[in-house]
Each structure stands twice: as C-alpha cells, then as structure tokens.
Amino acid sequence: MSPAAPPAETAPAVLARAPGKVNLHLSVGAPRRDGYHELATVFLAVSIYDELTARPAERGAGVALSISGTDTTDVPADEQNLAWRAAQLLAAHAGRAPDVILELTKHIPVAAGLAGGSADAAAALVACDRLWDTRLPRRDLLALAAELGSDVAFCLSGGLALGTGRGERLTPVLAAGEWHLVLAVAEGGLSTPAVYAELDRLRAGERPKARMPDALINALRARDLPGVAGLVGNDLQRAALSLRPTLRLTLREGADLGAEAGLVSGSGPTCAFLVASAGAAVRLAASLSAAGVCRTVRIAHGPVPGARLAHAAGGPGSRRPG
C-alpha cells in the first residue's frame, strides 16, 4: 500500500499565482450555434498576476472565497466566481468534496479585457490540485480549464500562443525574447458578452471569418518590432470603441506619445501599447498618466509562464510579479 496523503484538514496552505493576458491579434468569425464566436487569436501572458491561497477546510464545508485588492467590489465571492467554479469542477472531476478556503488577491484590473477572472480560475485549478493532492495530468487540467471559460486554458499555459476554436485550443508560438507593454486601464469595465453582441450588431449582414495571424507570428519569431507593430489588431476594438468612445482619446494619446502600436486588449476597455524597451515603457507610462486619458497605467512585459504554485516562482525563465 502506498503511503496515504495527509487528511485535508492538516494539509498546508498552497499559494498559486496566474498572469493576465493581452491579445496581440484577435480575429472574430461569425457567431456559432452555441453563442460563441470562432476566433483566431495570439495570446501574450503578461507580468500582472492575481494570487490565490487555498487552505484546507473542514469536511462538508464546501468552497469559501474571500477577495482582496483594489476595485474588487463588483467581483462576486460566490459560485459566480470562476475560481469558485474551478474548485468545484476539479473536485467533481476527482470525485471528492470541494472543501476549501480560497483567498484571492487581485492585481489584474477587473472586467478590463485582461482575463483576470480566467487567471483566477487557472490559479484555483493549480492550487486545489496540489492542496487535495489530486495530481491530475496536465491535459485533464487543460480540459477543465477550457470548460470553465475561453481564456482559462491560456492562463494555465501562459507564454505566447495561437488560440483557435473559441480561444481554448492552443498552439504555443516559439519565439525568443521579451515584449514590453504599457497598459492604460480605463475607469469602469466592459462586459465581454456585450462587446461581442455589439460587434455582431456592427457587422450585421456580413459573413466574417476568423483570419489566421501567420504574418504576425512570423514577425514575432523574427523579433521584428516594426513588423509586429504593423500587424497587431483586434476585431473587438471597433465594438469596444462604439460602447466606450473615449477610448479613442486614449489610443490617440498613446500613438502621439510614441508607442510603436496601440490596441484595445481583448474585449476592453484596457488599451495596450507596445513599446521598444523597458525604459520606453516607463517613459510612456509617465506621459500617459500625466495626460489623464485613463484611470491608471501599468507596465508589463511578456511572455511570462502560466498559472503555477508560488514556490515554483523564481525558477528558470520565471519572473517576480511586475
């Protein structure tokens, strides 16, 4: 008989963290029968992380979730939260009770187009898998992630990847080097379904197809900054601008201040600006902040690894949170 795992009540707490993302390319096809849209997207995991601690709970207690961080008043602390649902789904898959105390610390801006909720789900999968000693194979964790949401599998994998399907089918993009970004975080969020619905409204009568980002992927592999800058793009941007016209000012200001490229991140309203170096990021962040065209400015780089246990941080290729 193999030695039994310690009972949950005595297992030590587990800390996981997961990154947000920016889409360097987001091409949206027609709506599918299931309500989702076929995508071709390039995900870049960026150095802004949410942290999640999972602690053992008493038998039968179920999931308990507390949330801290800035601007978290609109984040549900119940089964609507993706981290909560991730814990429940993993427990159901492993055939055990979902008894866990989750403490979530949010640094990724909420409803901002940066996949903060998806990052929390990815962190919960990794943390609970360790806490409960379920030791699921990677492909099972990825399948559960894809079930939870379109961006969760990417938040688990991290790096730089092509996403197809509704975004959950991932192919890593093997490109060396680091990309520097400035994120202009807007006042208030945008609802992802509302942005997709606005895009459908704007494209009524059209038969859009998701375009593959082959040229962008080649430019990323070649570390061709002007090439990448000329090829990034997001079909959801026109819908986000339609719902939030003031984002035009933010994008224009970033361009005037010398960003190599600027685009709305995911469904917005965060605007992501690509810059040449860490120094250029600091300068653009200061100028954008002074221009008063957004609520707050964050500097980030990518690609960074996906969701992982915090004690694994600091290994080769990993970075401290930015």
Active site residue 129: no
Catalytic residue (one of 21, 50, 106, 120): 21
Q: Is 89 helix (H, G, I), strand (E, B) or coil?
A: helix
Of 99, 120, 129, 151, which one is the catalytic site residue?
A: 151
Contacts with ligand C5P by CB under 6 A lie at: 35-37, 39, 149-151, 166-167, 192-193, 196
Active site residue 256: no
Smallest separation, CB 168 to ligand C5P (Å): 8
Residue 61 CB coordination number (10 Å):
15
Smallest gap from residue 36 Cβ to ligand C5P (A): 4
Burial per residue of 209-239, b for 16 or more beta-carbon CB atoms within 10 angstroms, e otherwise: ebeebeebbebbeeeebeebbebbbbbbbeb
- CA–CA dist 271, 203 (Å, integer): 22
Q: Taking the complex as a whole, how short is the minimal distance between the CB of residue 75 and ligand C5P, in angstroms?
A: 15
Angle between helices 138-148 and 116-131 (to 10 degrees): 140
CB of 83 to ligand C5P, least distance (A): 14
Cβ atoms of residues 158 and 19 within 8 Å: yes
In the complex with ligand C5P, the residue whose CB is nearer, 195 or 225, is 195
Which residue lies nearer to ligand C5P by CB, 130 or 166? 166
Q: How many CA atoms within 13 Å lie on the side-chain side of 234?
A: 28
Rank residues 164 and 289 by Cβ distance to ligand C5P and give the closer one. Answer: 164
Of 215, 211, 222, 121, nearest to 164 by C-alpha is 211
Q: Which residues pair with 137 in a beta bridge?
A: none
Whichever of 103 and 200 has its CB closer to ligand C5P, that residue is 200
| Rounded Cα distance, 106 and 172, in Å | 27
Of 57 and 114, CB closest to ligand C5P: 114
Read off φ and ψ for residue 85, nearest 5 degrees.
-65, -35
Closest distance of CB 213 from ligand C5P, Å:
15
Q: List active site positions.
A: 21, 151
